[in-house]
Structure 1
Amino acid sequence: MGIPFESNSTYYTDSQNQAFLEIVNPFSNMSLYAIQIIYPVLPTIDGTEYDENPTFEVSDFLVWAKAFKEHLEEEDSFLYPMFNGMKQIATSVIHYGLIRNEHQWRQLVSLYMAHYLEILITAMKDEGNHVSLNAYNKDKDNHLEMAIGNITFEEFKSTIYGRMFWHLYQPFGKFAFWGVTI
């Protein structure tokens, strides 16, 4: 057993239980009583079992985001290059090793992509005349609110697809996986 050394994971007992143990054990003055917590408490994801993400195609995306169907029917459409770029980003952000369910992973990737594609379409419309250098119409309120601050992932509440995504991803996204290779 050895002598326990005090550290962040070791706590020495100092209570009525300690006094009882000293009475019962005649050699109590020769021993130390300590409670030690051994890490890790939760199982770790080693990444060997889930090295590769499943394939993800346009048809998988359109199951959860049918509103984009007319924009993604052909490879010549204006939204198709953005879809391919967002597919690369979404599949690297949402790790399959974390979800471990292929259907739920496809749903989360689709909703994540739809959220950002919705924001990109709103920016491309330029309803507030931010890019066109025309005068801003103050009578029409057409801005997209994104809270920046201490609240994590508050921006997902700004679109319909973002709210659906965050409702499903919140149990996974609450934990900080930054810097962890999955």
Structure 2
Amino acid sequence: MTEHQEDHAAVVSVSRDTDHRFSKPVVDEVVLVAGWGIEGDAHAGTTVQHRSRVARDPSQPNLRQVHLLHTELFDEVAEAGYEVAPGQMGENVTTRGVDLLRLPTDTLLHLGDDACVRVTGLRNPCQQINDFEPGLLRAVLGRAEDGSVERKGGVMAVVVTGGVVHPGDRIRVEVPAGTPEPLRPV
């Protein structure tokens, strides 16, 4: 793995919810547990916890233990008239200064002093985004130059090393060695 430092890359906010709701309340800190997810969050577990995925196959590994979303998306959708705040899109960790969507699969994100997550793929924006704010789904989906769908709803990760994460914690990016594997929806 090669280390990559993003200037001013930091955690802006952290959120968790014990229930399966679209938005998650902002909290002062989250505790990441290796191989499990965020302590006290409905999506934590070794197997899938998202309701639609459980209905299809509850034995699938949970590649969506932690949802990270960049505040730069909030800035982008604000230009289209949408006001979104941390936690409202269901993310656990809101970031600034890391181009999450351009990271290769298996990138390690070191959050604060101890915690580390491995990026598994892109969040696939769903109809719940429109239920939260009508029309917002269109704003978090775009078209890349080659015409393919561009998913802007953040990335999903699994917890590699546990630890406590707070707003203001630094983020250190460690990209895997070798040929980068682009992120795909998980």
Q: TM-score, normalised by structure 1?
A: 0.26
Q: TM-score, normalised by structure 2?
A: 0.25
Greater per-residue strand proportion: 2
Larger radius of gyration: 1
* Greater relative contact order structure (CA < 8 Å, 6+ sep): 2
